[in-house]
Amino acid sequence: MTSKNSHDRVPGLSVVSGNGHSDAEAQSDPAGARRASHGLDWTIFMARAQGGDRDAYRRLLDSVTPYLRSLAARSFYGRADIEDAVQDVLLTVHAIRHTYDPDRPFGPWVTAIANRRIVDCMRRHGRTRGRETSLEAEHETFAAPETNLQERASDGRVLREAVAELSPGQRDAIRLLKLEGLSLKEAAAASGMSVAALKVATHRALKSLRKKLGILEKGT
Amino acid sequence: MIATPDLIESLVADAQPVKRLRPPLARAAAWLLFAGVIVGLLAASHGLRPDLGVRLSQGSFVTGIAASALTGILAAVASFLLSLPDRSRLWLLLPAPALAVWVSTIGYGCLTSWIEIGADGIRLGDAVDCFATLVLISAPLSLAILVMLRYTALLEPVRVAVTGGLAVSAIAATALSLFHSLDATIMVLMWNLGIAALFVGSAGVLGRKMFSWVAPR
């Protein structure tokens, strides 16, 4: 359907100022004039949208969304919460768009819907927050005390220094097999050591690292 | 969560032409006409009370019935106005003056009924008959106003349900005072406002799910 046709379907459409400003006031106040013309646009777009004009409806929703966002931002801090409220308002506007009377300004109509939906969203958030705790990074841990000592659990510098203090053969074995993750065969080819020597070097290196890092061996 | 521009696109894709609601006063008038038809049909089948002519010459009876009818009309108008998002919430007060007059005559009616009927006066038959008539009037009217005002379930359920319940009560009480000798106003009010409270309470507990069958989102 063209916008002309849909406009013809709007009987009794009258020009209504969005916020009650007179024309003279609107001219002396540029921001007020912008608001008034916005309100007028919204009224015309909504009247056409009721007739099925999708283009007008898209322009209406696109231009009203920042306003709804500013209303929601007064009550919510999180970006996701604000978008949630805005989408709730848009869905309600869509569901009850036939209740809009084009003889009346669109601004107060959508503001009233927005305010009520935002209050509903706040109630819902209040109920949810009472029952839920958000999962933060510091909650991602295990019961063992060591895992909560982050500076020990992830102190790579200490490990690197301990590896550097090993004998050259043991250091190569640890680097190739444990840090770079090569197989015994690949490590043997890369280092020129035999597989058996690599195994022995790795075993001794791990034993010595444990000692250096203060980790007690099982049974000792 | 879907992105807002995507939501807008899907709403636009779903934007069929819609039929605008008629003005709230016209819709209230349609509902009152429906109420008039129901009451008229019941009057034809049930018959008016035998002493209606005598009672209509009594000032308190006429005041009470006029006040309850006016309460019904004003509450219906208030309910249809409140159902629109951009109308003032002060419309809630529209039926208040008529309601005050009606409530003041209820007290008087109860008092006189008590004295007239006496300790052994009220038989079960009358009360059951009263109750059946009350349900016959109230049920279709409640259902009609619920369907007509279904979209407000999303926005302003409490005020609309209270004024709607009051409108049904007042119409039912007016009709009952034409049909029954027993003053049933208290029963009517308890029943209809009880139903309204039940609806509002369940809406509060169950949320929008409850209205989803009449108000698609």
Check residues B39 and A127 and name the one with the higher pLDDT: B39
* B17 contacts in chain A (CB < 8 Å): 1, 6, 9, 50-52
For residue B6, what are the CA distances in angstroms to A41, A58, A64, A144, B30?
A: 23, 11, 15, 45, 40
Interchain CB distance below 8 Å, B20 and A98:
yes
Q: Kindly state the average pLDDT of the residues A175-187.
A: 85
Q: A62 in contact with B at a CB cutoff of 8 Å?
A: yes
Is the pLDDT at A6 greater than 70, yes or no? Answer: no
Interface mutation vs chain B, best among A99, A118, A123, most B CBs within 10 Å: A99
Q: In the prediction, which pLDDT does B207 show?
A: 42
- Percent of chain A with pLDDT strictly greater than 70: 70
Q: In this predicted structure, what is the pLDDT of residue B125?
A: 56
pLDDT digits (tens, 9 = 90+) for A53-111: 888 899 899 989 999 999 988 888 888 888 888 998 998 888 888 888 888 888 888 99
Same fold, A3-131 and A151-211: no
pLDDT at res. B35: 92
List, for residues B122-150, the tens digit of each pLDDT value: 555 556 666 777 778 888 888 888 788 87
The architecture of the domain spanning A3-131 is: Orthogonal Bundle (1.10)
At residue B26, the pLDDT reads: 93
pLDDT at B19 over 70: yes
Please determine, for residue A176, whether its predicted confidence score (pLDDT) is greater than 60: yes
CA distance linking residue B102 with residue B70, whole number of Å: 9
* Gap from A142 CA to chain B (nearest CA, Å): 30
* pTM listed for this prediction: 0.63
By CA distance, what is B19's nearest residue in A?
Answer: A98
Per-residue pLDDT band at B107 (split at 50, 70, 90): low
pLDDT at A174 over 60: yes
| 3-state SS, one letter per residue, for chain A | CCHHHHHHCCCCCCCCCCCCCCHHHHHHCHHHHHHHHHHHHHHHHHHHHHCCCHHHHHHHHHHHHHHHHHHHHCCCCCHHHHHHHHHHHHHHHHHCHHHCCCCCCHHHHHHHHHHHHHHHHHHHHHHHHHHCCCCCHHHCCCCCHHHHCHHHHCCHHHHHHHHHCCCHHHHHHHHHHHHCCCCHHHHHHHHCCCHHHHHHHHHHHHHHHHHHHCCCCCCC
Query: Which of A57, A90, A96 is the closest to B154 by Cβ?
Result: A96
* Per-residue pLDDT tens over the stretch A39-67: 678 888 888 888 888 888 998 999 899 99
Nearest by CB: B151 against A6, A50, A96 = A96
**pLDDT value, residue B36:** 92
Per-domain residue ranges of chain A:
3-131, 151-211
Cα gap B152→B89, rounded to integer Å: 13
Check residue A8 and give its pLDDT: 39
What average pLDDT does this structure show over B149-161?
73
**Residue B9 contacts A, CB cutoff 8 Å:** yes
Q: Does B85 contact chain A (CB < 8 Å)? A: yes
Kindly state whether A96 is in contact with chain B, defined as any CB-CB distance less than 8 angstroms.
Answer: yes
Q: Helix/strand/coil (H, E, C) string of B103-118?
A: HHHHHHHHHHHHHHHC
**Res. A165 pLDDT band, cuts 50 70 90:** confident
pLDDT of residue A220: 44
Give per-residue pLDDT as tens, B50-101.
777 777 777 777 888 898 899 999 999 998 998 888 888 888 899 889 988 8
Length of chain B: 217
A50–B7 CB contact, under 8 Å: no
The stretches of B56-156 forming alpha helices (DSSP H) are 59-82, 96-117, 124-148
CATH code 2.60.40.1220 for A151-211 = no
Q: What is the mean pLDDT of chain A?
A: 75
| Nearest partner of B168 among B85, B69, B102, judged by Cα | B69
8 Å CB contact of A84 and B86: no
ipTM of the complex: 0.72
* Residues 177-196 (B) with a CB less than 8 A from some CB of A: none
CB of B88 within 8 Å of a chain A CB? The answer is no
Q: Is any Cβ of chain A less than 8 angstroms from the Cβ of B205?
A: no
Minimal C-alpha gap between B134 and chain A (Å): 32
